[in-house]
Protein backbone atom coordinates (compact mmCIF):
# COMPACT_ATOMS: atom_id res chain seq x y z
CA UNK A 1 0.00 0.00 0.00
CA UNK A 2 1.29 3.43 -0.95
CA UNK A 3 1.32 6.06 1.82
CA UNK A 4 0.75 8.89 -0.66
CA UNK A 5 -2.43 7.17 -1.94
CA UNK A 6 -3.58 6.72 1.64
CA UNK A 7 -2.98 10.39 2.45
CA UNK A 8 -4.81 11.42 -0.73
CA UNK A 9 -7.81 9.29 0.29
CA UNK A 10 -7.71 10.76 3.78
CA UNK A 11 -7.70 14.32 2.43
CA UNK A 12 -10.67 13.44 0.19
CA UNK A 13 -12.66 12.15 3.17
CA UNK A 14 -11.45 14.22 6.12
CA UNK A 15 -11.50 18.02 6.27
CA UNK A 16 -10.58 18.45 9.94
CA UNK A 17 -6.80 19.03 10.02
CA UNK A 18 -6.56 18.00 13.69
CA UNK A 19 -8.16 14.66 12.86
CA UNK A 20 -5.67 14.16 10.04
CA UNK A 21 -2.82 14.97 12.43
CA UNK A 22 -4.26 12.46 14.91
CA UNK A 23 -4.17 9.77 12.22
CA UNK A 24 -0.58 10.66 11.34
CA UNK A 25 0.37 10.53 15.02
CA UNK A 26 -1.29 7.14 15.36
CA UNK A 27 0.59 5.97 12.27
CA UNK A 28 3.89 7.02 13.89
CA UNK A 29 3.11 5.21 17.14
CA UNK A 30 1.98 2.07 15.32
CA UNK A 31 5.19 2.06 13.26
CA UNK A 32 7.25 2.35 16.45
CA UNK A 33 5.28 -0.45 18.11
CA UNK A 34 5.75 -2.68 15.08
CA UNK A 35 9.49 -2.05 15.27
CA UNK A 36 9.44 -2.86 19.00
CA UNK A 37 7.64 -6.16 18.38
CA UNK A 38 9.52 -7.07 15.20
CA UNK A 39 6.37 -6.82 13.09
CA UNK A 40 5.66 -5.40 9.62
CA UNK A 41 6.11 -1.64 10.12
CA UNK A 42 4.34 -0.64 6.91
CA UNK A 43 1.30 -2.79 7.70
CA UNK A 44 0.98 -1.49 11.26
CA UNK A 45 1.54 2.11 10.13
CA UNK A 46 -1.21 1.71 7.53
CA UNK A 47 -3.66 0.60 10.21
CA UNK A 48 -2.76 3.66 12.29
CA UNK A 49 -2.96 6.06 9.38
CA UNK A 50 -6.34 4.90 8.05
CA UNK A 51 -8.14 3.99 11.28
CA UNK A 52 -10.30 7.15 11.41
CA UNK A 53 -10.74 7.84 7.68
CA UNK A 54 -14.52 7.46 8.08
CA UNK A 55 -15.12 9.70 11.12
CA UNK A 56 -16.62 12.58 9.15
CA UNK A 57 -18.45 10.21 6.80
CA UNK A 58 -20.13 8.51 9.77
CA UNK A 59 -20.62 11.76 11.71
CA UNK A 60 -18.61 10.17 14.55
CA UNK A 61 -21.47 7.68 15.12
CA UNK A 62 -19.80 4.89 17.08
CA UNK A 63 -22.48 2.41 15.97
CA UNK A 64 -21.13 2.78 12.42
CA UNK A 65 -17.58 4.18 12.74
CA UNK A 66 -14.72 1.89 11.74
CA UNK A 67 -16.80 -0.39 9.51
CA UNK A 68 -16.57 1.94 6.48
CA UNK A 69 -12.95 2.70 7.42
CA UNK A 70 -12.02 -0.97 7.26
CA UNK A 71 -13.75 -1.29 3.88
CA UNK A 72 -12.05 1.85 2.56
CA UNK A 73 -8.66 0.61 3.78
CA UNK A 74 -9.23 -2.72 2.01
CA UNK A 75 -10.00 -0.92 -1.27
CA UNK A 76 -6.79 1.07 -0.85
CA UNK A 77 -4.82 -2.15 -0.57
CA UNK A 78 -4.45 -2.59 3.18
CA UNK A 79 -3.95 -6.13 4.46
CA UNK A 80 -6.79 -8.11 6.03
CA UNK A 81 -4.94 -7.86 9.35
CA UNK A 82 -4.73 -4.05 9.14
CA UNK A 83 -8.42 -3.86 8.21
CA UNK A 84 -9.31 -6.03 11.19
CA UNK A 85 -7.31 -3.77 13.50
CA UNK A 86 -9.14 -0.75 12.09
CA UNK A 87 -12.48 -2.47 12.63
CA UNK A 88 -11.75 -3.52 16.22
CA UNK A 89 -10.32 -0.20 17.41
CA UNK A 90 -13.97 0.84 17.94
CA UNK A 91 -15.21 -1.41 20.72
CA UNK A 92 -18.84 -0.40 20.07
CA UNK A 93 -19.12 -3.24 17.54
CA UNK A 94 -18.32 -5.84 20.18
CA UNK A 95 -15.62 -7.42 18.01
CA UNK A 96 -12.73 -8.45 20.21
CA UNK A 97 -9.18 -7.36 19.57
CA UNK A 98 -7.38 -10.59 18.75
CA UNK A 99 -3.99 -9.91 17.22
CA UNK A 100 -1.13 -7.92 18.64
CA UNK A 101 -1.81 -5.26 15.97
CA UNK A 102 -5.49 -5.06 16.99
CA UNK A 103 -4.55 -4.52 20.62
CA UNK A 104 -1.79 -2.03 19.76
CA UNK A 105 -4.09 0.17 17.68
CA UNK A 106 -6.75 0.06 20.37
CA UNK A 107 -4.43 1.50 23.02
CA UNK A 108 -2.36 3.75 20.72
CA UNK A 109 -5.41 5.61 19.38
CA UNK A 110 -6.16 7.66 22.54
CA UNK A 111 -2.48 8.03 23.48
CA UNK A 112 -2.02 10.58 20.69
CA UNK A 113 -4.45 12.97 22.37
CA UNK A 114 -2.70 12.72 25.72
CA UNK A 115 0.70 13.41 24.17
CA UNK A 116 -0.61 16.23 21.95
CA UNK A 117 -2.17 17.88 25.00
CA UNK A 118 1.18 17.55 26.76
CA UNK A 119 2.81 19.55 23.98
CA UNK A 120 0.06 22.16 23.73
CA UNK A 121 0.21 23.11 27.42
CA UNK A 122 3.90 23.96 27.09
CA UNK A 123 4.84 27.55 26.20
CA UNK A 124 6.76 26.34 23.12
CA UNK A 125 3.88 24.09 21.99
CA UNK A 126 6.46 21.63 20.65
CA UNK A 127 6.89 17.91 21.28
CA UNK A 128 10.65 18.38 21.57
CA UNK A 129 10.15 19.93 25.01
CA UNK A 130 7.80 17.24 26.33
CA UNK A 131 9.11 14.55 28.66
CA UNK A 132 7.50 11.17 29.16
CA UNK A 133 7.48 11.65 32.94
CA UNK A 134 5.32 14.78 32.58
CA UNK A 135 2.84 12.90 30.40
CA UNK A 136 2.79 10.09 32.95
CA UNK A 137 2.16 12.57 35.76
CA UNK A 138 -0.71 14.22 33.86
CA UNK A 139 -2.19 10.79 33.07
CA UNK A 140 -3.75 10.77 36.55
CA UNK A 141 -5.50 14.13 36.00
CA UNK A 142 -8.93 13.31 34.60
CA UNK A 143 -9.49 16.89 33.41
CA UNK A 144 -6.23 16.93 31.41
CA UNK A 145 -6.87 15.70 27.84
CA UNK A 146 -10.26 14.53 29.09
CA UNK A 147 -11.06 12.86 25.76
CA UNK A 148 -8.05 10.55 26.00
CA UNK A 149 -9.53 7.35 27.41
CA UNK A 150 -7.16 6.30 30.23
CA UNK A 151 -8.67 2.84 30.49
CA UNK A 152 -8.05 2.24 26.80
CA UNK A 153 -4.47 3.55 27.01
CA UNK A 154 -3.87 1.29 30.03
CA UNK A 155 -4.65 -1.73 27.84
CA UNK A 156 -0.99 -1.43 26.77
CA UNK A 157 -0.41 -4.19 29.30
CA UNK A 158 -2.24 -6.48 26.84
CA UNK A 159 0.64 -5.96 24.42
CA UNK A 160 3.25 -6.54 27.09
CA UNK A 161 4.15 -2.93 27.87
CA UNK A 162 3.88 -1.09 31.14
CA UNK A 163 2.37 2.38 30.97
CA UNK A 164 5.68 4.23 31.35
CA UNK A 165 7.29 2.33 28.47
CA UNK A 166 4.21 2.75 26.29
CA UNK A 167 4.16 6.51 26.84
CA UNK A 168 7.90 6.72 26.10
CA UNK A 169 7.49 4.82 22.83
CA UNK A 170 4.49 6.93 21.82
CA UNK A 171 6.17 10.23 22.65
CA UNK A 172 9.38 9.37 20.79
CA UNK A 173 7.37 8.20 17.77
CA UNK A 174 5.38 11.43 17.69
CA UNK A 175 8.56 13.48 18.08
CA UNK A 176 9.75 11.76 14.92
CA UNK A 177 6.66 13.06 13.11
CA UNK A 178 6.68 16.48 14.80
CA UNK A 179 7.11 18.49 11.60
CA UNK A 180 4.16 16.77 9.90
CA UNK A 181 2.14 17.18 13.10
CA UNK A 182 2.97 20.86 13.43
CA UNK A 183 4.26 20.21 16.93
pLDDT tens string 149-179: 999 999 999 999 999 999 999 999 999 999 9
**Domain boundaries of the chain, sorted by first residue:** 3-181
**What separation, in Å, do the N-terminal and C-terminal C-alpha atoms of the chain show?**
27
3-181 CATH: 1.10.3210
Q: Are 29 and 22 in contact (CB under 8 A)?
A: no
- Average pLDDT estimate for 93-113: 97
Q: Is the dihedral of CA 65, 107, 86, 130 positive or negative?
A: positive
Amino acid sequence: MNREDALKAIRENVKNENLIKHMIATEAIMRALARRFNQDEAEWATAGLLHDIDVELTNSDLKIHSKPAAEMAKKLGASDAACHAILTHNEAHGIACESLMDKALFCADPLTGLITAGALVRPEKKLAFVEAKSIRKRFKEKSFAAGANREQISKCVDIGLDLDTFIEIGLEAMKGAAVELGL
